[in-house]
């Protein structure tokens, strides 16, 4: 009986998926400027959503596997009826994913996908200490530089957030707009202001911008440079 309930729930989920995809296809047909969303999650995941314009999914696939050690997600956590001898209980385990069970157009893990759904990280996502230090900005700019200066897509926005009781789970969404030739030559940097008193900079030092930025931060905010760990950021300052 429990398995029948789980099968009915799965069938209902597939119906919802088919209905939603029909609406999305209608919207896609009217879209004039394609966009792509890449989400980095320090729990060990990379997710991509959007149109596969100009073979961008294959280029991203090659790039993430080379530089992030990413692996395709083949399985998802699914409920099943577990018989313990006297009765059946609903439990979860990793099982091959159906198309309608995917939460993104492309999903990767950066490390081994464990039976309980967690990822045994391969070390690409880093964090340490009690002040929230992490390398999400560094990784974000790696993605941005690849998408803009190599693939020609335009950076639309970055939106980060922290989850978990202590804010230890970091997620970063990066949205790109359809390619334009000028994106191949436009440099980018990211400046991260941290409430604990640090300023971190990531990106390419184009036209001496790092020195100009250091001078401005010193004069305007009284910031002083501190040693930057290249695994976490390219330039670092402390205020106060």
Cα–Cα distance for residue pair 215/224, rounded to 1 Å: 9
pLDDT above 70 coverage of the chain, percent:
97
Q: Which two tokens stand for residue 88?
A: 């059946």
- Residue 87's pLDDT band (boundaries 50, 70, 90)? low
Whether the per-residue pLDDT at 73 is higher than 70: the answer is yes
Res. 158: pLDDT tops 90: yes
- For residue 88, what pLDDT band results from cuts at 50, 70 and 90? low
pLDDT of 21 reads 81
Which residues lie closer than 8 Å to 33 by C-beta, 6 or more apart?
A: 177, 178
Highest mean pLDDT among 48-52, 67-71, 84-88, 155-159: 67-71
Residue 102's pLDDT band, with cuts at 50, 70 and 90, is confident
Residue-level length of the chain: 240
Of 131, 102, 110, the C-alpha closest to 13 is 102
51 touches 132 (CB < 8 A): no
Task: Answer with the residue of higher pLDDT: 15 or 36.
Answer: 36
Q: What is the pLDDT of residue 231?
A: 96
Model confidence band, residue 85 (pLDDT cutoffs 50, 70, 90): low
Of 10-14, 86-90, 173-177, 228-232, minimum mean pLDDT range: 86-90
**Which sign, positive or negative, has the C-alpha torsion 29, 31, 35, 40?**
negative
- The residues that bridge with 89 in the sheet, in sequence order, are 82
Q: pLDDT tens, 104-113?
A: 999 999 999 9
Angle at 182 between CA 59 and CA 137, to 5 degrees: 60
Q: How far apart are CA 144 and CA 175, in angstroms?
A: 9
∠ at Cα 17 (56, 112), nearest 5°?
A: 55
């Amino acid at each position: 009986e429990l398995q029948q309930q789980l099968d009915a729930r799965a069938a209902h989920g597939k119906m919802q998926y088919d209905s939603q995809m029909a609406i999305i296809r209608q919207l896609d047909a009217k879209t004039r400027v394609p966009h792509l969303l890449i989400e980095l999650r320090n729990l060990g995941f990379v997710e991509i959503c959007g149109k596969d314009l100009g073979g961008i999914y294959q280029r991203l696939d090659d790039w993430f596997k080379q530089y992030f050690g990413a692996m395709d997600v083949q399985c998802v956590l699914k409920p099943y009826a577990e018989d313990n001898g006297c009765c059946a209980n609903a439990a979860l385990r990793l099982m091959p994913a159906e198309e309608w069970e995917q939460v993104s157009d492309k999903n990767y893990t950066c490390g081994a996908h464990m039976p309980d759904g967690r990822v045994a990280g391969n070390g690409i996502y880093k964090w340490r200490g009690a002040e929230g230090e992490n390398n999400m900005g560094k990784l974000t700019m790696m993605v941005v530089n690849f998408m803009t200066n190599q693939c020609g897509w335009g950076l639309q926005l970055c939106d980060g957030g922290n989850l978990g009781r202590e804010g230890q789970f970091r997620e970063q969404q990066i949205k790109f707009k359809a390619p334009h030739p000028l994106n191949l030559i436009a440099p980018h940097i990211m400046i991260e202001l941290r409430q604990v008193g640090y300023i971190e900079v990531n990106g390419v030092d184009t036209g001496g911008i790092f020195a100009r930025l250091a001078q401005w931060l010193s004069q305007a905010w009284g910031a002083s440079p501190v040693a930057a760990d290249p695994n976490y950021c390219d330039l670092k300052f402390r205020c106060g």
